Amino acid sequence: MTAPLNRRQREVLLLAANGNSNRQIGRWLGITPGRVAEILSNAYRALGAADRAQAVAVALRVGEFGLDDIRVPEPPIEARQARQGPSVPVSRPNSARGHRATSGAQNGAQSPESSIRRSS
């Protein structure tokens, strides 16, 4: 049986579910990584979970937060390039202006702010 999470436990677990480390969460919330670990530990206990992954799964199951609250991060540019093959321009035969199409792998890197993913 699970106990409901308090607001802080839910907030910290959701930030963890979005791929943030204890250090990133602590920086975001203005608390120490040790305090983040303590809050997560209390959340695990309330949910009857052994670790972060299980706590997220149980929280989803019991409705503490929903799938829409969890953001899937963009893979690094290198991973996208490996998956898509080399980024070589391909000409469009029917292009009136002769523009070249490129794979989406040439997008810029994410800003430092995007390394902390926070749901609204």
Tens digits of residue pLDDT in 73-98: 676 666 556 666 555 544 444 444 44
| Residue 88 falls inside a structural domain | no
Q: What is the pLDDT of residues 5-33, one digit of tens each?
A: 999 999 999 999 999 999 999 999 999 99
Q: What is the pLDDT of residue 107?
A: 41
Cα separation, 114 vs 56, whole angstroms: 21
CA distance between the termini of the chain: 28
This prediction's pTM: 0.61
Look up the domain containing 15 and give its range: 7-69
| Residue 46 falls inside a structural domain | yes
Structure tokens at 31: 């608390």
Query: In the chain, how many domains are there?
Result: 1
Helices 52-62 and 33-47, interaxial angle, to 10°?
50
| Residue 119 falls inside a structural domain | no
Residues recorded for the chain: 120
Q: What is the CATH number of the domain that holds 47?
A: 1.10.10.10
| Residue 86 falls inside a structural domain | no
| Residue 90 falls inside a structural domain | no
